[in-house]
Structure 1
Amino acid sequence: MIDKEVPPRIRRSQTLALVLLLVCGVINYLDRATLAVANEYIRADLGLSLGEMGLLLSAFSWSYALCQLPVGGLVDKVGPRWLLAMGLVIWSLAQAAGGLASTFGYFVMARIVLGIGEAPHFPAAARVVSNWFPPRSRGTPTGIFNSASPLGVALAPLLLPPLIAATSWHWAFFATGGLGLVAAIVWVTLYRDPVREQLSVEERAYLDAGEPEKPAAKTSFAAWCALFKYRVTWGMMLGFFGSVYLNWVYLTWLPGYLRTERHMDLAYAGLAASVPFLCGFAGALIAGWASDRVTRYAVSPVSGRRKAVVWSTLGMVAFTIPAALVESNVMAVACISIVIFLANASSACAWSLATVAAPPSRIASLGAIQNFGGFLGGALAPVLTGYIAQTWSFVPALLTGAGIAFVGAMSYQFLVTQPIPEQD
C-alpha cells in the first residue's frame, strides 16, 4: 500500500488518516443503505407505493448533489478536519431523526438534511489523500477510502435486519445515527492536516514526489468558477453521472428488486444483496492499487486514470444486460456482483482521477463538482427505476441504467484528456 521510502512519521499519518476515513465512510453508507434495507417495512408502515418509495430514496441524493458545488471549495479553503466533523454531526442527527418519521413529508425532510450533512465526506477524503500522498501514489489510498461505500452497503443487510426484527425499523436509524456521533468525536480528536513548516526536508521531498512544486495558489470563488471553462470538468460531471446512476439503481433498489422481481425470501434476499457489495469492496481496493500501477507506465497520470474509469464503466454496462435478462437467480446475482465490483472500481478511479486532473489548489473543488454530476444521476436513478418498475418491470429499468452508464464512459473517454492548469 505504501512505498518503502515513505518517512516513518508520514507513514503513521497516512495509516491513521486512511483508517479514520474508512470507518467514517462505512458509517456514511450504513446510513444511506438503512432506508433500502428497511424498504418493505417502511412502505407497509407509511402506505407508500413503489413510485413514492423511489422519491423517498432519491431525496437524499438531490440535496447531496447540490451541496457538492459549494462544499468542495469550502474543503479547499477551510480544510477537511472541521468540515468533515461538522458533516458527521449533521448527518448523524438527521439519520436518527429518520427513525422518528411517521409521515412521508417528514421522512423526505430528514433524508434531505442527511444529504446536506454527508456532502463534505468524499471531497474531504480526496483532500486528505492529496495532502498526505504524492500524485502517482494516490490511487491505492483513494481505493481504500472508496471501499468504505460498498463495505457499508454490504454490512447493512447483514447487521440491520436482525435489529429490525428484534425491535422495529425505527431503531435501525437510531443506532446508525449514534455511531456517527461517536465517529465525529474520534475524527476531530485524532486527525491533523500536514503543516509544511513542521516537515523535514525528507518528508517534503516525499510529498512533492522528488520535484518540489510551487506553493498552491489560494482558492477563490473566481478560481472555482473558472473550472467550468474546461471540457475536462464537464466530461467528469457527465461521466460520473452515468457511473453513479447505474450504481445507485442497485444501491437503492437491489433488496427490493430481489424480493419483488426475483421472489426471494427475506433471509436469502439479505444474503444475496450483501454478496455483490462485498465484491464492490474488493473492487475499490483492487482498482486503487491497479490504477497506481497503470499510471506509472501511462503517458500521463490523467491518461492512466481515465483509462481505468472508462474500462470499468464499460464493464458495468456489459454485465448489467445479462443481469436483467437471465432467468437464473444465481446467475443474476453473479452478474450483479461483477457490476458492483466494477462500479466501485470506477468510483475509486474517478476520485483518483480528480486528484491529478485538478490544479493543486482546487482538488476538492473538482472532485466535488464531479460528485455533483454523479449524484444528479444518483438522485434520478431511484425515482426513474421505481416508476419504470411500477409501469413495466425492473428489466427495462436495468437496461436504461446500462445505456446511461455507456454515455458516461464515452464522456470520460473523449472529454477528459488534459489536466487543468493552476491559474488562467
Structure 2
Amino acid sequence: MTTSSSHATPPRIRRGQTLSLVLLVVCGVINYMDRATLSVANEFIRADLGLSQLEMGVLLSAFSWSYALCQLPVGALVDRIGPRWLLGTGLVVWSLAQAAGGLAATFGYFVIARIALGIGEAPQFPSAARVVSNWFPPLARGTPTGIYNSASPLGIALAPLLLAPLIAASSWHWAFFATGALGLLMAVVWLVLYRDPVRAQLNAAERAYLQLDQASEGAPGSSFAAWRALFRHRATWGMMLGFFGSVYLNWVYLTWLPGYLRTARHMDLKSAGLVASIPFLCGFAGALIAGWASDRVARSAASPLAGRRNAVVAGMLGMVAFTIPAALVESNVAAVACISVVIFLANASSACAWSLATVAAPPSRIASLGAIQNFGGFLGGALAPVLTGYIAQTWSFVPALLTGAAIAFLGAMSYLFLVVRPIPEDH
C-alpha cells in the first residue's frame, strides 16, 4: 500500500482538511459546553426547582442513557447519509433541546429536555470519525482525531468560565438560551461550509494521497445487514468493552471530582472549583499530543491497527497506574497531580480509540464501528456516577476509585486481546 508520507498533501485536500477540523472543533466545544451547563448551574437549578440530590442525579444521568442508546443507529445513519446532514440535523435538535432546558419549570420537563439533548448530540463523534476518514489517509488520521477530541475537555473547561458570569449577571435560564442559540448559529455555518470530497472530481494526485482504490469503491454501503455483521467480529466486542472501561474511569472524575475534593480531600468550595479545572486543561493537551504521537506509532508498528490499539492500551494502563496513588496518597497536591495525569491519559486514549476505529472498520462502516465503540463507552459513562456514589456513600472514595481502576484495566485487556485484526469489507 502506498503510504501517505510518499505524497505531499494536495492544496485542495489541505484546504478541506483545515476547514473540516476547525468546524469539528467548534461544534465539539459547543457540544460539551451544552452537556456541562447543567453542572455549572446545578445549585441554582436545585434551589429554583426544589430538587433533591436524587432527582438531580437522575437529571444528570438522563443525557448519558439516551446518548449511549442512540449511538447504535446513528453510526449506520452517518455512513449511509453522510456527516454533513447528520451532524447538521443533530446540531439543530440538540440546540433546541438545550434552549428548551432554559424553559424548564418542572423536574419531568427537564428530564425530557436532557433526553432530547442526548439524542441530538449523538451524531457528533461518529460524524467526526467519518469526516476524518474522508479527508485523511489511514496513517495520518491520529493527529486530526486528537484535534477534534480535544474539543471535549476544552468545552468542559470553558463552560464554568463563560457560563458562571452569565448566570451571576442574569439567571441560570440564560445559560441554556445562550448556548442553544450558539448551536443553532453553528448549524447554519456547518451546513453552508462543510462538504465531503467528491471522488469523481479528484485528480490522480488527490486520489493517491487519500489512498483511494477500486477495492474501496466497491464497498457494499451501510445496510442493516452490514451493520449487524460487525457484531460477528471480536474486534467490535473488544472495542466496545474496552471503551466501557476507559470512559467509566474518565467519568468517575468528570462527575465526582469537585465532590471528591470537598468530601475526601476537605477542600473548601472555592479551592475545589479552581483545582478541579486543572486536570481538564491537562486533558485538552492529552488529546492533542496523543493524536500526533499515535500517527508516529502507527507508522512504525507492524500494522496501523496494532499501532493505534497499542497506544490505547498504553494510555489506559497509565490511567490505572496513576489512579491507585490518587486514591491512597495523603497529600492533596500529589493526589491532584496524579488525577491530572489520569485525565491527560484518559483524553489521550479516547483520541487514540477513535483513530483506531478508522483503521479497524471496513471503509463503508467507519462511523458505524466508532459509534458502537462509543455506545459501550457511554454505558460506562452512565454507570460510573451511580456506582461511584453508592460505593463512596457505603464505604469511601478509596474503593470507588480503585473499582474504576479495575474496570479500566479489564477494558485495556479487552483491547489488547480482542482487537487483533481489522474487520474486512464484505462484498
Q: TM-score, normalised by structure 2?
A: 0.94
* CA 1:67–1:3: 2 relative to 1, 3 Å: farther
Q: Distance in 2 between matches of 1:244 and 1:3?
A: 36
User: SS state of the match for residue 29, structure 1?
Assistant: helix
| Aligned equivalent of 1:159 | 162
| Aligned equivalent of 2:111 | 108
**Correspondence 1:284 to 2:287:** yes
> Which of 131, 134, 140 lines up with 1:131 in the alignment?
134
> Which of 199, 209, 212 lines up with 1:196 in the alignment?
199
Q: Which moved more, 1:81-90 or 1:331-340?
A: 331-340
Q: Distance in 2 between matches of 1:142 and 1:232?
A: 20
> Which of 305, 308, 312 lines up with 2:311 in the alignment?
308
Q: TM-score, normalised by structure 1?
A: 0.95
**Given that residues 54 and 386 in structure 1 are in contact (C-alpha distance below 8 angstroms), is that contact kept between their aligned partners in structure 2?**
no
User: SS state of the match for residue 16, structure 1?
Assistant: helix
> Which of 333, 341, 344 lines up with 1:330 in the alignment?
333
| Aligned equivalent of 2:232 | 229
| Aligned equivalent of 1:268 | 271
**Given that residues 241 and 376 in structure 2 are in contact (C-alpha distance below 8 angstroms), is that contact kept between their aligned partners in structure 1?**
yes
Q: Distance in 2 between matches of 1:48 and 1:322?
A: 35
By how many angstroms is 1:141 displaced?
0.4
Structure 2 residue identity aligned to 1:357:
A
By how many angstroms is 1:17 displaced?
0.1
* CA 1:260–1:98: 2 relative to 1, 3 Å: farther
By how many angstroms is 1:36 displaced?
2.1
Residue segments in structure 1 that go unaligned for 5+ positions in a row: none
By how many angstroms is 1:330 displaced?
2.2
Q: Distance in 2 between matches of 1:399 and 1:3?
A: 46
By how many angstroms is 1:114 displaced?
0.6
> Which of 212, 217, 222 lines up with 2:220 in the alignment?
217
* CA 1:394–1:274: 2 relative to 1, 3 Å: same
Alignment map for 1:345-424 (pairs within 5 Å): 345-423=348-426
Q: Distance in 2 between matches of 1:302 and 1:32?
A: 32
1:207-261, CA deviations, whole angstroms, 9 ceiling, x for partnerless residues?
1179974433222110100000010000000000010111112222223333444
* CA 1:386–1:40: 2 relative to 1, 3 Å: farther
**Given that residues 157 and 273 in structure 1 are in contact (C-alpha distance below 8 angstroms), is that contact kept between their aligned partners in structure 2?**
no
1:158-179, CA deviations, whole angstroms, 9 ceiling, x for partnerless residues?
2222222222322222222221
Q: Distance in 1 between matches of 2:106 and 2:418?
A: 44
By how many angstroms is 1:8 displaced?
0.4
**Given that residues 219 and 426 in structure 2 are in contact (C-alpha distance below 8 angstroms), is that contact kept between their aligned partners in structure 1?**
no
Q: Distance in 1 between matches of 2:103 and 2:6?
A: 48
Q: Which moved more, 1:332-341 or 1:60-69?
A: 332-341
> Which of 54, 57, 71 lines up with 2:57 in the alignment?
54
By how many angstroms is 1:93 displaced?
1.2
1:111-152, CA deviations, whole angstroms, 9 ceiling, x for partnerless residues?
111100000000000000000000110000000011100111
1:23-58, CA deviations, whole angstroms, 9 ceiling, x for partnerless residues?
000110111112222233333444444443332221
User: SS state of the match for residue 418, structure 1?
Assistant: coil
Residue segments in structure 2 that go unaligned for 5+ positions in a row: none
**Given that residues 84 and 191 in structure 2 are in contact (C-alpha distance below 8 angstroms), is that contact kept between their aligned partners in structure 1?**
yes
| Aligned equivalent of 1:30 | 33
Q: Distance in 2 between matches of 1:310 and 1:339?
A: 14
**Given that residues 243 and 374 in structure 1 are in contact (C-alpha distance below 8 angstroms), is that contact kept between their aligned partners in structure 2?**
yes
User: SS state of the match for residue 231, structure 2?
Assistant: helix
RMSD: 2.0
| Aligned equivalent of 1:187 | 190
| Aligned equivalent of 1:297 | 300
* CA 1:156–1:51: 2 relative to 1, 3 Å: same
By how many angstroms is 1:3 displaced?
9.2
| Aligned equivalent of 2:84 | 81
* CA 1:340–1:2: 2 relative to 1, 3 Å: farther
**Given that residues 53 and 386 in structure 1 are in contact (C-alpha distance below 8 angstroms), is that contact kept between their aligned partners in structure 2?**
no
Question: Percent of counterpart pairs with the same letter?
Answer: 81
Q: Distance in 2 between matches of 1:318 and 1:47?
A: 41
